[in-house]
Amino acid sequence: MTQTFTTPAVKFLEKREKDHFIDGQWRASLSGETIQTFSPGDGQLLAALARGRKEDIEAAVAVARRTFEGSWCKLTPHDRYTLMLKVADVIEKNFEELSLLDTLDMGAPLTRTRAMKKGLLQTITYFAAQAMNWGGMSVPNSLPGSFTTFTLKAPIGVVGSITPWNAPLVSMWWTMGGILATGCTGVIKPSEEASLSTLRTAELLVEAGVPPGVINVVTGLGAEAGAALSSHMDVDRIMFTGSTATGREIIRSSATNMKRVNVELGGKSPDIVFADADLDKAVPGAAMGVFNNSGQICSAGTRVFVERGIQEEFVARFAEFTKEIRVAHPLDPQAQLGPVVSRRQMERVLDYVTIGKEEGAQLCAGGERIGGELAEGYFVAPTVFANANNDMRIAREEIFGPVATIIPFDSVDEGLKLANDTEYGLGGAVWTSNLSKAMKFVHTVKAGKLWVNCYGHQDQAMGFSGTKQSGYGMKGGAAHIEGFLYEKSVCINND
């Protein structure tokens, strides 16, 4: 059954067949094939996406290259700055539509996607400011004679980006912001699970005055369109957010032309709770560090390490808090959590629940698919396992769903050792009233972004990265912009 939308905020859905957006125009796949996408809130057909393949990627990259070598990269920094301010205005005026598209497409409650407005606009304006904040430098030299030496920076060229489905509204801007601020062009391949807000944003950019061909969007499967983009000989940089396994393939593909790579990959982040923590803050903070966005965040603190002396109390309060979380249809204004993105993802999460039980962990809350009025959607009850150990699969493998694994420890050194006992290194947090413990955590735990007595807060100016098998390359901050530029060293003979 196909759902009908009449609200003005989703006029974009009136055309069920969603083409690629290339050179400022809607284009069907050259093969004519499509992919169906379903709303995770009720399992109903939402739209049919164009199924991009190698030939569609080649067409989009050719447009991006032609646009880059045209007048676009010659805009002054101030031109790009003022253009991005116009973009911010257009995004703000159309934000209600974009947030609803994201909610329908990937299942996050509308209250959550609407709450992203301030942060999204701050991200766009931050990158606008960066358009006038990069450049080279003069360098003193020791050459005999009279020479002037300096460096300058230039846009790298065509950027390919493969974006995830867990937060399209924000994720696309790590690429778009850098492209618009530096004078690059790009081809974005959004996840087939959630492409609609990216397509609509690309259309809005043209309405805001961004020249056609600067931002192009090709939809399709990762193994087809994504693979073609990551290996394309005329793409100068690739950005990817997703699984570590796919990230390895992206890195291998980049060797075709030595393209630069930025990869944000999987995570199994530690969240350490010491006995001196304020549990009134630590319990809800650690819980939502796992369950926020239905657990579909790469840096989610899914391994919750609790000092043994407070283990029993913490588990009881954590389970009680979890059971009170309101899981509802994403359009329900009272919803705190929505479904996971797809039936496949729901089945994956439920498989891990079975694995946790078989491994001997204690199931304290959740652990089942939610039925009743939500039976047609992809809803998994927030799940808590306690009395687990760090060798269990539920403690070592990324589940990417609302599943918390609580593990006891006995000393500061043991807690930090367990925190680092993972192949990942994306995020982590500590809850303590002791400054010495907090700083020891900060200096010891191997992860790209850390929190103390909070979880998940993010500032565009700070940026973040990963280490170990969570990837590499900064997102946000001045280092983010550097990834879209290359540097030239210049030596001038003054005689």
HSE toward the beta carbon, residue 413, CA cutoff 13 A: 0
Would you say residue 495 lies in a domain? no
Q: Are residues 50 and 151 in the same domain?
A: yes
Tell me the C-alpha distance between 428 and 452, whole Å: 9
Tell me the C-alpha distance between 307 and 315, whole Å: 11
Residue indicated by tokens 């100016």: 461
Would you say residue 2 lies in a domain? no
CATH number, domain with residue 311? 3.40.309.10
User: Cβ atoms within 10 A of the Cβ of 88, count?
Assistant: 19
pLDDT of residue 10: 59
Q: Are residues 175 and 260 in the same domain?
A: yes
pLDDT of residue 31: 96
Average pLDDT, the chain: 95
Give pLDDT tens digits for 272-284: 999 999 999 999 9
The one catalytic residue in 97, 193, 224, 264 is 264
Q: Are residues 392 and 478 in the same domain?
A: no
Yes or no: say if 238 and 161 are a contact pair by the CB < 8 Å rule. Answer: yes
Give pLDDT tens digits for 70-114: 989 889 999 999 999 999 999 999 999 999 999 999 999 999 999
Would you say residue 172 lies in a domain? yes
CATH number, domain with residue 246? 3.40.605.10
Name the region of 34 (left: φ>0; alpha: ψ -120 to 50; beta: rest): beta
One-letter amino acid of 377: G
Would you say residue 464 lies in a domain? no
HSE toward the beta carbon, residue 325, CA cutoff 13 A: 29
* Residue 7 reports pLDDT greater than 80: no
Tell me the C-alpha distance between 236 and 260, whole Å: 6
* Residue 45 reports pLDDT greater than 70: yes
Using CB atoms within 10 Å of the CB of residue 73, give its burial: 0 to 12 exposed, 13 to 18 middle, 19+ buried. middle
Tell me the C-alpha distance between 29 and 115, whole Å: 34
* Residue 460 reports pLDDT greater than 90: no
Q: Are residues 98 and 198 in the same domain?
A: yes
What percent of the chain shows pLDDT beyond 70?
98
Least Cα distance to 360 among 391, 314, 401, 381 occurs for 391
Tell me the C-alpha distance between 449 and 472, whole Å: 12
pTM of the model: 0.94
pLDDT of residue 17: 74
Would you say residue 349 lies in a domain? yes
Q: CA angle at residue 43 from 39 to 48, to 5 degrees? A: 55
- With bands split at pLDDT 50, 70 and 90, how would you rate the model's confidence at 12? confident
Would you say residue 213 lies in a domain? yes
Would you say residue 463 lies in a domain? no
Q: Are residues 95 and 149 in the same domain?
A: yes
Contacts of 131 (CB under 8 A, 6+ apart): 77, 78, 80, 81, 84, 180, 181, 182
Tell me the C-alpha distance between 201 and 189, whole Å: 13
Using CB atoms within 10 Å of the CB of residue 82, give its burial: 0 to 12 exposed, 13 to 18 middle, 19+ buried. middle
Please give the backbone phi and psi of residue 191, each rounded to the nearest 5 degrees, phi first: -60, 140
Least Cα distance to 177 among 260, 121, 222 occurs for 121
Dihedral angle computed from the Cα positions of residues 314, 319, 320 and 323, in that order, rounded to the nearest 10 degrees: 160
Give pLDDT tens digits for 205-236: 999 999 999 999 999 999 999 999 999 999 99
- With bands split at pLDDT 50, 70 and 90, how would you rate the model's confidence at 4? very low
As for how many domains the chain has, the answer is 2
Q: Are residues 296 and 354 in the same domain?
A: yes
Cα–Cα distances (Å) from 379 to 73, 196, 272, 309, 335, in that order, read 46, 21, 28, 34, 12
Q: Are residues 327 and 420 in the same domain?
A: yes
* Residue 3 reports pLDDT greater than 50: no
Least Cα distance to 320 among 371, 386, 392 occurs for 386
Question: 239-276 as b/e, with b when 16 or more CB fall inside 10 Å?
Answer: bbbbbbebbebbbebbeeeebbbbbbbbbbbbbbbbbe
Would you say residue 480 lies in a domain? yes
User: Cβ atoms within 10 A of the Cβ of 347, count?
Assistant: 13
Give pLDDT tens digits for 237-279: 999 999 999 999 999 999 999 999 999 999 999 999 999 999 9
Structural domain span for residue 313 = 270-458
The one catalytic residue in 184, 203, 298, 398 is 298
Q: Are residues 47 and 168 in the same domain?
A: yes
Least Cα distance to 389 among 278, 306, 281, 471 occurs for 306
Q: Are residues 174 and 256 in the same domain?
A: yes
Q: Are residues 358 and 407 in the same domain?
A: yes
pLDDT of residue 2: 40
Q: Catalytic: 298?
A: yes
Q: Are residues 453 and 378 in the same domain?
A: yes
Q: Are residues 285 and 383 in the same domain?
A: yes
Give pLDDT tens digits for 309-358: 999 999 999 999 999 999 999 999 999 999 999 999 999 999 999 999 99
Report the DSSP pairing between strands 137-138 and 34-38. Answer: unpaired
Give pLDDT tens digits for 106-162: 999 999 999 999 999 999 999 999 999 999 999 999 889 999 999 999 999 999 999
Tell me the C-alpha distance between 283 and 268, whole Å: 19
DSSP assigned state of 380: B
* Residue 285 reports pLDDT greater than 90: yes
* H helix runs in 20-165, sequence order: 54-68, 77-93, 95-106, 110-115, 117-130
Element (H, E) at 226: none
Mean pLDDT of the 437-441 span: 98
